[in-house]
Amino acid sequence: MKPRGAPSLEMSAAIVFSRQIPLKSLSIICRNLGTMLASGVELRKSLSLAAGKAMNPRAREALDGVSAAVSEGDQVAEGMRRQDEAFPELMIDMVGVGEETGSLPEILRSLAAHYENLLRLRKHLVGSLIWPTFQYVAAVLVIALLITILGWIAETRGGEAWDVTGLGLVGGRGAIIWILLNVGLVAAVVAGYKFVRRSLKWKQVIDPVLMQVPVVGRCMRSFAIARFSWAFALTQQSGMSIGPSLQASLRATSNGAFLAAAPGLWRTVRDGGSLSQAFSASRLFPPDFVEMVAVAEASGTVPEMLDRLSPQFEEDARRDLKGLTTALGWAVWAIVAMFVIFLIFSIFTQYIGMLNTLSR
């Protein structure tokens, strides 16, 4: 048993620099395998051909490992599980269900569509963040230029440069330090984000807090429910039993708040409660979603209903994401405005000090 405590340096590096296959490669692998298997190509041959077509070295290595495992008599899902976290848990679970039910080609094509959709959402997110990022970079560079100019003026007149940041940064050297500080801050935020997203423990701590933030929480909730709805519909339609289906679908959300709620959801269902009661008790699903699930339970059409709802929640998430990036843009401007106000007061204070000195 591994000792509990803070993760080691090697563990932290493994979390930040994930060995999981990129989304684009996953979508291509699923699409190729699903098409070949549906066309009657033998499983090991399909895996070998998919490995040969993979452009990503990690994907090629992992597929070769799966092919070797299948040649030794293992199931595809078991071979994937051996590949040092190359494949997501959801994909492994779904491939296992596909092998048990004989619907592997259909499940692989559904997974391909899922990963392609995640890629579109990621591109949308990156595109939405371009303008706030540009604003932040411009603000940092303008301040660096101001630090440089004030330092140059002080050197020319032989006086002391104004410290506009309050951090003791003046002149060209101060401008470089200012830029490096901001680069380091961004790098730390990115590394921390990757660490949190890869660490189940930290996701379950931080995500519930973020879910309480008005704009951010609504966006996270919509994305999580969209992914849950898609995964639950697919797992139920593939014949997975309710317990593993709930677990796999909650993992598909990649949201710590939903993952933390998994034991309570399953306990309610296991004790005879309905899905709608479990969703309502978790306080993670909106009332209209719970009511629609209750209606679908009465008619036995929950998977079909969730399959229809998933695109709707994705569209809600996109709208929320647009509002979030707009708020980020205003936040950047607010930070710049506060700095300008601070700069004005700093200059005014120093100017008053100079006048007092001259009047003595």
- Report long-range pairs for 143-146 (Cβ below 8 Å, ≥24 apart): 143/178, 143/339, 144/175, 144/176, 144/178, 144/179, 145/175, 146/343
Report the alpha-carbon distance of residue 76 to residue 82 in Å, rounded: 10
- Taking phi first (over 0 means left), then psi (-120 to 50 degrees means alpha), and beta for anything else, what does residue 75 get? beta
Task: Give CA–CA dist 74/47, Å, rounded.
Answer: 13
Taken in order 272, 275, 280, 281, is the CA torsion positive or negative?
A: positive
Over its length of 360 residues, how does the chain's per-residue pLDDT go in tens digits? 333 333 343 333 333 445 788 888 999 999 999 999 999 999 889 998 988 888 888 899 999 999 999 988 889 989 998 888 888 887 888 888 888 778 888 889 888 888 888 788 778 777 777 877 887 888 888 888 888 887 887 777 766 666 766 677 788 888 899 899 999 998 998 888 777 767 667 777 888 888 888 778 888 888 888 888 888 888 887 777 888 888 888 888 888 889 888 888 999 988 888 999 999 998 889 898 899 999 998 888 888 888 888 788 777 777 777 777 777 777 777 776 776 777 677 666 766 665 666 565
CB 65 within 8 A of CB 95: no
CB-CB neighbours of 65 under 10 Å: 18
Take residue 326 and report the two structure tokens written for it: 């707009």
Domain assignments of the chain as residue spans, ordered by start: 16-112, 130-199, 200-360
CA 297 vs CA 77, 230, 301: distances in Å: 31, 17, 6
Tokens of 342: 């601070």
Fold match, 16-112 / 200-360: yes
Question: In this structure, what token pair is assigned to residue 108?
Answer: 């692989």
Residue 13: the pLDDT is: 39
The residue to which tokens 């932290």 are assigned: 12
Q: How far apart are CA 96 and CA 99, in angstroms?
A: 5
Structure confidence at residue 36 (pLDDT): 93
Q: Phi/psi zone of residue 170: left (φ > 0), alpha (ψ -120 to 50 degrees), beta?
A: beta
- Give whole-number Cα distances, 166 to 64, 147, 160, 339, 350, in Å: 57, 11, 14, 11, 13
| Predicted pLDDT of residue 197 | 67
Concatenated DSSP letters of 338-359: HHHHHHHHHHHHHHHHHHHHHH
CATH numeric code, 200-360:
1.20.81.30
Q: How far apart are the two ends of the chain, measured CA to CA in Å?
A: 75
| The residue to which tokens 């959402």 are assigned | 121
For residue 8 the two structure tokens come to 């080691």
**Can you give the pLDDT at residue 1?**
35
Q: Would you give the distance in Å from CA 277 to the centre of its chain?
A: 28
Whether the full predicted model's pTM is greater than 0.75, yes or no, is no
Q: Which fold has domain 16-112?
A: Receptor-associated Protein (1.20.81)
